[in-house]
Amino acid sequence: MAVNVSIVPCRDYSPEALDAALRAALEPLGGLDWVKPGMTVAIKTNLISRMPPESAAVTHPECLAALTRLLKERGARVIAGDSSGGPFTPAWIHAVYAGAGMEAVVRAGGELNEDFESVEAVFPEGVTVKRFPYTAWLKKADAVIDFAKLKTHGMANMTCAVKNFFGSIPGTRKPEMHFLHQSVEEFCSMLVDLALYNAPRLTLVDAIDCMEGNGPSHGKPRHMGALLAADTPFNADLVCAHLIGLEASGAPTVAESIRRGLCPADWRELSVCGDADSFAIPDFEKPPRNRKINFDSQSPWLRAFLRRSFGTGPKINRAQCVGCGKCAEVCPAGAAQVVKGKARIDGKRCIRCFCCQEFCPKGAVTVHRPLLARLIERG
C-alpha cells in the first residue's frame, strides 16, 4: 500500500538533525526520485510577515535550506518564496525575507523568488473560485513543494498545508478574497480550491516548533518535535489536526476536504508511516471555536443579540495597542479604525476574517468568545 503520510522525530533545527529527518520522512514516499536534473522546483513556504524563525510564525528557514540541499543533489534549480501580508513588491518581500532568515536558502544553493508578476488564474474545476489573482512564479516552475508550518488560526482554527496556498494570492489582494468569501465555510472552500489549483508534487510540514494560542502570528511556540511528509496537503492536514487535538469538524479546511472526498473522514484510514500518536498534544492551546449559530429569524434585534452573545470576534487589548493602524489598513470590511490613538473595531461591520488579529505587529488583537457562549459550552 502506498504511504500517504510519513511522520518522523526531529529534535531541533540544526542542519544535521534536519538532513537526517527529511531523508527519513521522504523515504516511505519514494524519496525525491521524481526530481530530474534541470528541473525548476518552487518551494512554497509560509512567510506570514517579517517575523523571526524563533517566533514559530514562519516555516523555519533551516527546514527550507535542508530541502534545498537535497534538491540540489539531484540537479534541480530551487526557488523559495511566498506572498505575505502587504504588497507583493520587491522592497516589501525582501524585508520579509530578511526578517525571516531566508538567506539560509541562498547559502544552501537555492534562490529566493524575484518574480513579482501577478496574473489571473483560471480554474473551471473550482467549487468556490474559478478565477482569482495569482502569483505567477509558482506556475512557472516544473513542480511545487508545499512546506507549511503547523499553527493555530483565529478564523480557520488551524493553518497548515492547505491554507499555506493563500500565499499564492498577491498580498494586497488577500483582503479582497476575505470580503468576497465572508463565511468560514466558504472561505475555507476557497482555500481548498487554491490547494487543488497549485497541485503540489510533495507536501512537507514543519511541526518541530509549532504555534499555539493566538496564532497564526502572535501565539506561543510549542515544541512537538515532528517533521511530516505527505502525498497531498489534504492528507497532511488531516493528520496535523489530530496532532493538535482538533476534530475534523473543528478544522474547516479539513472538513471541506472530507466533504469533497479529498481525504478520508478519519486519519486512521490513511496509510501513515510513523507513530503519529506519540507526537500528539491533546492540550495544545487552540483559539476559541467559532460556532455557527443557525437561527432563522427575521428579527434584527434577535440576530444582534445572538451575534453579541455567541459570535466569536476580534478583541483589542488597549494596553498593547500602539495605534499603528495596521488593522485598519488590512481590514477588508472597513470595520477597524484608530480613534484617539487606539484601535477600534465596529462589530456591525466586522466580517470575522481576523485579518486584524493575523497582522497586528504587537499581538494586541485576540480571538474573543463572549462569556455567555463559554458558560453554555461548559455547561
Tell me the per-residue pLDDT of 18-55, one tens digit each, with 9 for 90 and over.
Answer: 999 999 999 999 999 999 999 999 999 999 989 999 99
Say whether pLDDT at 369 is over 80. no
* The pLDDT value given to residue 302: 46
Query: Given CA atoms 303, 180, 360, 188 in this order, what sign does their dihedral have?
Result: positive
What does the alpha-carbon distance between residue 172 and residue 83 come to, in Å, rounded to a whole number? Answer: 9
* The pLDDT value given to residue 296: 43
User: In 3-state terms, what secondary structure has residue 76?
Assistant: coil
Q: Tell me what percent of the residues of the chain surpass a pLDDT of 70.
A: 91
* DSSP bridge pairs for 242: none
Q: Which of the two residues, 350 and 307, has the higher pLDDT score?
A: 350
Give the confidence band of 355 by pLDDT, cuts at 50, 70, 90.
confident
Question: Residue 377 is placed in which grid cell?
Answer: 459550552
Type of residue numbered 16: E
pTM: 0.86
The closest alpha carbon to 174, from 215, 118, 123, belongs to 118
Kindly give, in sequence order, each residue whose CB lies less than 8 Å from that of residue 14, ignoring residues fewer than 6 positions away: 62
Q: For the chain, what is the largest distance between any 2 Cα atoms, rounded to a whole number of angstroms? A: 65
Say whether pLDDT at 166 is over 70. yes
The closest alpha carbon to 254, from 190, 188, 202, 206, belongs to 188
By the 8 A CB rule, do 61 and 104 touch? yes
Tell me the per-residue pLDDT of 246-268, one tens digit each, with 9 for 90 and over.
Answer: 999 899 999 999 999 999 999 99
What does the alpha-carbon distance between residue 29 and residue 203 come to, in Å, rounded to a whole number? Answer: 11
Give the confidence band of 66 by pLDDT, cuts at 50, 70, 90.
very high
Domains and CATH numbers, the chain: 5-278 (3.40.50.11440), 300-378 (3.30.70.20)
Residue matched to cell numbers 476575505: 178
Q: Categorise residue 206: left if φ over 0, alpha if ψ from -120 to 50, beta otherwise.
A: beta
Say whether pLDDT at 147 is over 90. yes
By the 8 A CB rule, do 287 and 367 touch? yes
Residue matched to cell numbers 517579517: 50
* Alpha carbons within 13 A on the beta-carbon side of 305: 7
Query: Given CA atoms 349, 355, 360, 363 in this order, what sign does their dihedral have?
Result: positive
DSSP state of 287: P
What does the alpha-carbon distance between residue 259 and residue 132 come to, in Å, rounded to a whole number? Answer: 23
What does the alpha-carbon distance between residue 24 and residue 66 come to, in Å, rounded to a whole number? Answer: 13
Q: At what angle do helices 184-198 and 233-243 cross, to 10 degrees?
A: 130
Q: What secondary structure does DSSP assign to 119-147, as a single string? A: EEEE-TT-SS-SEEEEEGGGTTSSEEEEE
Residues in the chain, total? 379
Phi, psi at 367, each rounded to 5°: -85, 120
Phi, psi at 246, each rounded to 5°: -105, 130
* DSSP bridge pairs for 131: 122
What does the alpha-carbon distance between residue 323 and residue 339 come to, in Å, rounded to a whole number? Answer: 8
Give the confidence band of 367 by pLDDT, cuts at 50, 70, 90.
confident
Tell me the per-residue pLDDT of 275-333, one tens digit each, with 9 for 90 and over.
Answer: 999 999 999 999 876 544 444 444 555 445 545 544 578 888 999 999 999 899 889 88
